[in-house]
Amino acid sequence: MIRYIYGTDLVRHPRLRDGMFRDRADQFVTRLGWDLPLRPDGAEVDQYDALDPLYVIWEKADGSHGGSMRLLPTTGRTMVNEHFTDLIGGGTIVSPLIWECTRFCLARETDPRTAAALMLAGGEVMHGFGVEHYVGVFDARMVRIYRRIGASPEVLGTTGEGRGAISIGLWEFTPEAQARVAQSAGIAPDQSRRWFDDAFGRTPLRAAAASAA
């Protein structure tokens, strides 16, 4: 299932938290060879994790971390604006309607539909909170995955080569794209909305619709 968890609340989900930081180390450092510092316990945690981001996490049936991404508003500090401005032609991208999405991570043995489920959840966030675009940092391997699930970003710039390449991309979510992603994820729109409501509360209209169903 999809979980939406702010950084300050990770303490209540120690298994997901530890799994996420360990799987990030495995993906970005072990598999992709990025030069990122690891904590002594092997966790990949950076300064943006300290900014109380909103994590979107795929929780596997056994309760472990299957994949995740990290969201921050671009009106505050972001990785793109502090480290990748050369890739977006210099300067910064700042707007309350644009959020940043980074550290898109898939655990090694996760469910095949994890990436699509995360993107579907990204669409729920946009729809639920009035976000119009994501600007994201992602690794080369993700290009193919995003294309396969029907959620290709527009690439603004790329640095590095081969498996080490890092790109900045933009997403917007049209209803058509959202429908494609839902299909790739094999998750019914109602189910997806329910997970969102579990995290952020249900509106009375949705509550009424649900009880009538």
Partner 1 sequence: MGYVSTIGSIDRVLAGLDSAEGIDDLQALSERIRDEYGITNVVYHWVNSNGDQYGCGTYSEAWVLRYLERKYVRIDPVILGCYQRFHPVEWKRLDWSSRAARGFLADAIEHGVGNQGYSIPIRGPNGQFALFTCNDSCDDATWADFIERNRRDMILLAHDFNRKALDLEPDRTPDRAVTLSPREVDALTLLAVGYSRAQVASTLSISEHTLRVYIESARHKLGAVNTTHAVARALQRGAIVV
Q: What is the nearest approach in angstroms of partner 1 to the Cβ of residue 76?
A: 5
Q: Is 159 among the residues that bind partner 1 (CB under 8 A)?
A: no
Kindly report the three-state secondary structure assignment for every residue of the chain: CEEEEEHHHHHHCHHHHHHHHHHHHHHHHHHCCCCCCCCCCCCCCCHHHHHCCEEEEEECCCCCEEEEEEEEECCCCCHHHHHCHHHHCCCCCCCCCEEEEEEEEECCCCCCCHHHHHHHHHHHHHHHHCCCEEEEEEEHHHHHHHHHCCCCCEEEEEECCHHHCEEEEEECCCHHHHHHHHHHHCCCHHHHHHHHHHHHCCCHHHHHHHHHC
> Nearer Cβ to partner 1, position 46 or 197?
197
Q: Is 96 among the residues that bind partner 1 (CB under 8 A)?
A: yes
Taking CB under 8 A as the criterion, the residue among 14, 204, 211, 213 binding partner 1 is 204
Q: What is the nearest approach in angstroms of partner 1 to the Cβ of residue 6?
A: 7
Asked if residue 102 lies in contact with residue 137, where contact means CB atoms within 8 angstroms, the answer is yes
Q: Please identify, among the stretches 12-20, 25-33, 69-77, 186-194, the one whose residues bind partner 1 according to the rule CB under 8 A.
A: 69-77
Q: Please identify, among the stretches 11-19, 55-63, 104-112, 194-202, the one whose residues bind partner 1 according to the rule CB under 8 A.
A: 194-202
Of the candidates 91, 74, 89, 69, the one whose C-alpha atom is nearest the C-alpha of residue 135 is 74
> Nearer Cβ to partner 1, position 87 or 107?
87
Task: Sketch the per residue contact string, 70 through 89, with partner 1: x for CB under 8 A, - otherwise.
Answer: --xxxxx--------x--xx
Q: Please identify, among the stretches 12-20, 90-98, 138-146, 186-194, the one whose residues bind partner 1 according to the rule CB under 8 A.
A: 90-98
Q: What is the nearest approach in angstroms of partner 1 to the Cβ of residue 193?
A: 13
Q: Please identify, among the stretches 32-40, 100-108, 110-118, 121-129, the one whose residues bind partner 1 according to the rule CB under 8 A.
A: 121-129
CA angle 132, 100, 176 (to 5 degrees): 40
- Return d(Cα 191, Cα 187) in angstroms, integer: 7
Site for partner 1 in 20-49 (CB under 8 A): none
Q: Is 172 among the residues that bind partner 1 (CB under 8 A)?
A: yes
Residue ranges binding partner 1 (CB under 8 A): 6, 8, 52, 54, 72-76, 85, 88-98, 125, 128-130, 132-133, 135, 154, 156, 170, 172, 197, 200-205, 208
